């Protein structure tokens, strides 16, 4: 039995290199194409475990990450359709990455997903969404 405030969390990470350039006024050196060694953390949370004692199946998450790594690895983010009209900031990247994870996830147990993307050793951005409704932010 769980307590109403109980929460399980599970995090899976993946690293890859991708390129972007910022499209804002006066972007400085980030206005030129540059590479980042991104680390993506997917943090799932929910109040209960599924039938087999998992919050989410790690193998299923790894398969989703395999597909997303293949999409973004060694790619210029600016050229991808999901970034059309957007400055390819890590904030936008975290939300867009989460859109694809949420669409691919078949496990109904986790209730929340936080995508944290590190673009270097000191800078990261995150986006959190509910998974038990229509996927809008909390």
Residue 2 belongs to some domain of the structure = no
- Split at pLDDT 50, 70, 90, the class of 5 is confident
As for how many domains the chain has, the answer is 1
**The pLDDT of residue 2:** 54
How does DSSP classify residue 76?
A: B
**Integer Cα distance of 18 and 31 in angstroms:** 15
Residue 136 belongs to some domain of the structure = no
Percent of residues, the chain, with pLDDT higher than 90: 87
The whole domain housing 79 covers 8-130
Residue 26 belongs to some domain of the structure = yes
- Strand residue runs (E) in the chain: 8-20, 34-46, 112-118, 124-130
- In tens, the pLDDT along 69-80 reads 999 999 999 999
96: domain CATH number? Answer: 3.30.479.10
Residue 3 belongs to some domain of the structure = no
Asked whether 109 and 55 are in contact (CB, 8 A), the reply is yes
pTM of the model: 0.90
Residue 1 belongs to some domain of the structure = no
Residue 23 belongs to some domain of the structure = yes
Residue 12 belongs to some domain of the structure = yes
**The pLDDT of residue 136:** 43
- Strand residue runs (E) in 21-93: 34-46
Q: Which stretch of DSSP H or E encloses residue 64?
A: helix 58-72
- Split at pLDDT 50, 70, 90, the class of 114 is very high
**Integer Cα distance of 83 and 91 in angstroms:** 12
**pLDDT exceeds cutoff 60 at 45:** yes
Residue 137 belongs to some domain of the structure = no
């Amino acid at each position: 039995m769980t307590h109403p405030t109980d929460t399980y969390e599970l995090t899976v990470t993946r690293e890859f290199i991708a390129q972007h350039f910022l499209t804002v006024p006066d972007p400085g050196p980030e206005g030129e194409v540059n590479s980042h060694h991104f680390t993506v953390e997917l943090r799932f949370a929910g109040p209960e475990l599924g039938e087999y004692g998992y919050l989410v199946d790690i193998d299923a998450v790894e398969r989703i990450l395999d597909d997303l790594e293949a999409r973004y690895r060694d790619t210029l983010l600016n050229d991808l359709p999901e970034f059309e009209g957007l400055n390819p900031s890590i904030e936008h990247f975290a939300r867009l990455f989460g859109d694809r994870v949420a669409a691919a996830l078949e496990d109904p147990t986790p209730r929340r997903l936080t995508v944290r993307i590190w673009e270097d050793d000191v800078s990261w951005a995150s986006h959190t969404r509910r998974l038990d409704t229509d996927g809008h932010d909390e």
